[in-house]
Structure 1
Amino acid sequence: MKEIALFISILFQLSILSSAESNDFSIDLIHIDSPLSPFYNSSLTQSDILINAAFNSISRAESFPLNTDVNSDQTITIPNRGSYLMPFYIGTVPRGSLAIVDTGSDLLWIQCLPCTNCYNQRLPIYDPRKSYTHHLIPCGSDSCRKVSKNSCGIAGECKYVVGYGDKSITRGTVATDIISFNNSHDGHIIEYPNTIFGCGYNNTGVFQPQGAGIFGLGGGPLSFISQHGAKFGKRKFSYCLLPFYYVQGSSKLKFGVDTQTNRRGVVTTAMVSLYPSTFYYLTLEAVSVNGRMLRPDERTVGNIIIDSGTTTTFLKTSWYKKVEAAVVEAIGHQSVALSKLNTFLTVNTFTCFAIFPTQKTSIIGNLLQVFFNIEYDLDKRTVSFAKANCLKE
Structure 2
Amino acid sequence: MAPATRRAALPRRGGLLAAVLALAALASPARLAAAADRSSGAPDWHVVRVSSLLPSAVCTAAGARAAAASNSSSSLGVVHRHGPCSPLLARAGGAPSHAEILERDQDRVDSIHRRAAGAASAAAADAARASKGVSLPARRGVSLGTGNYIVSVGLGTPRRDFSVVFDTGSDLSWVQCRPCNGCYEQQDPLFDPAQSSTYAAVPCGDPQCRGLDSWTCTSGSRCRYEVVYGDQSQTDGNLVRDTLALGPSGALQGFVFGCGDDDSGLFGRADGLVGLGRNRVSLASQAAAKYGAGFSYCLPSSSSAAGYLSIGGAAPPNAQFTAMVARGDTPSFYYLNLVGIKVAGRTVGVPEAVFRAPGTVIDSGTVITRLPDTAYRALRRAFARFMRKYKRAPALSILDTCYDFTGYTTVQIPSVALVFSGGATVSLDFSGVLYVSKVSQACLAFASNGDDTSIGILGNTQQKTFAVVYDVTSQKIGFGAKGCA
Q: Retained in 1: the 8 A contact 2:237–2:261? A: yes
Counterpart of 2:197 (choices 114, 121, 132) is 132
1:337: which partner in 2? Answer: 414
Contact 2:339-2:355 at 8 Å conserved across structures: no
TM alignment of 1:59-138, pairs within 5 A: 59-64=107-112, 65-67=115-117, 69-72=119-122, 75=139, 77-81=141-145, 82-138=147-203
Counterpart of 1:350 in structure 2 is 441
CA contact (8 A) 1:307 1:364 kept: yes
CA 1:319–1:197 in structure 2 vs 1: closer, same or farther (change >3 Å)? Answer: same
TM-score (norm 2): 0.68
Query: Structure 2 CA distance, aligned partners of 1:90 and 1:44?
Result: 28
Q: Write the distance in 2 (CA, Å) between the matches of 1:33 and 1:194.
A: 32
For 1:287, the equivalent position in structure 2 comes to 341
Aligned to 2:271: 212
| Residue 294 of structure 1, CA deviation | 2.1
Q: Which moved more, 1:32-41 or 1:67-76?
A: 67-76
Please, which of 230, 235, 258 is the counterpart of residue 165 of structure 1?
230
Aligned residue runs from structure 1 range 1-393, under 5 A: 24-40=73-89, 49-64=97-112, 65-67=115-117, 69-72=119-122, 75=139, 77-81=141-145, 82-183=147-248, 189-209=249-269, 211-232=270-291, 234-247=292-305, 250-261=306-317, 263=318, 266-274=319-327, 275-289=329-343, 290-295=346-351, 298=354, 300=356, 303-332=359-388, 337-338=414-415, 339-348=429-438, 349-359=440-450, 360-391=454-485
C-alpha distance in structure 2 between counterparts of 1:44 and 1:118, whole Å? 21
**Which one-letter code corresponds to 1:125 in the other structure?**
L
Moved more, 65-74 or 125-134: 65-74
Q: Summarize the Cα distance change of 1:196–1:297 in structure 2 as closer, same or farther, 3 Å threshold.
A: same
User: Aligned-pair RMSD on alpha carbons?
Assistant: 2.4
In the alignment, the residues of structure 2 paired with residue 350 and residue 333 of structure 1 have an alpha-carbon distance, to the nearest angstrom, of: 15
CA contact (8 A) 1:272 1:301 kept: no
Secondary structure of 1:271 counterpart: strand
User: Structure 1: any 5+ residue segments left out of the alignment?
Assistant: 1-22, 184-188
The TM-score with structure 1 as length reference comes to 0.83
Deviation string for 1:54-103 (max 9, x for gaps)? 22211111111242744426735212235211111111221111110111
Q: How far does residue 389 in structure 1 lie from its aligned partner after superposition? A: 4.7
Comparing 74-83 with 238-247, greater Cα deviation is found at 74-83
Read off the aligned partner of 2:277 and give its amino acid letter: G
Q: Does the aligned pair in 1 maintain the 2:73–2:246 contact within 8 Å?
A: no
Secondary structure of 2:242's match?
Answer: strand
1:278 is aligned with what amino acid? S
Structure 2 residue identity aligned to 1:366: N
Query: 1:293 and 1:389, CA in 2 relative to 1: closer, same or farther beyond 3 A?
Result: same
Quick one: which amino acid aligns to residue 236 of structure 1? G
Tell me how far apart the structure 1 counterparts of residues 430 and 444 of structure 2 sit (CA, whole Å).
Answer: 9
* Alpha-carbon shift at residue 44 of structure 1 (Å): 5.6
Tell whether the 8 Å contact from 2:296 to 2:310 is kept in structure 1 after alignment.
Answer: yes
Bigger radius of gyration, 1 or 2? 2
Deviations 1:196-220 (A, max 9, x none): 10111111222211x1111011111
What secondary structure is seen at the aligned counterpart in 1 of 2:194?
A: helix
For 1:43 and 1:179, the matched residues in 2 are separated by 30
- Rounded to whole Å, the distance in 2 between the matches of 1:299 and 1:50 is 28
Q: Residues of 2 paired with 1:79 and 1:277: CA distance?
A: 17
**CA-CA distance at 1:223 after TM superposition:** 0.8
Name the amino acid aligned to 1:157: R
Letter in 1 for 2:378: K
Q: Identity over the aligned pairs, expressed in percent?
A: 28
How far the C-alpha of 1:293 sits from its partner, in A, is: 3.6
Query: Deviation string for 1:303-355 (max 9, x for gaps)?
Result: 11111111111112333222222222343489951354112122231121211
1:135-182, CA deviations, whole angstroms, 9 ceiling, x for partnerless residues?
A: 111113211111111221221111111111111111111111111123
Say if 1:150 and 1:159, in contact at 8 Å, map to a contact too. Answer: yes
Letter in 1 for 2:279: G
* C-alpha spacing 1:295/1:163, structure 2 compared with 1 (3 Å): farther
The answer to whether the 8 Å contact 2:434/2:444 transfers is: yes
Displacement of 1:195:
0.4
Structure with the larger helix share: 2
**What's the secondary structure of 2:108's corresponding residue?**
helix
SS of residue paired to 1:269: strand
Amino acid at match of 2:264: T
**Is 1:303–1:362's contact at 8 Å kept on the other side of the alignment?**
yes
Please identify runs of 4+ aligned residues in structure 1 that moved more than 6 A: none
Paired amino acid for 1:72: A
Could you tell me how far apart the structure 1 residues matched to 2:264 and 2:304 are? 33
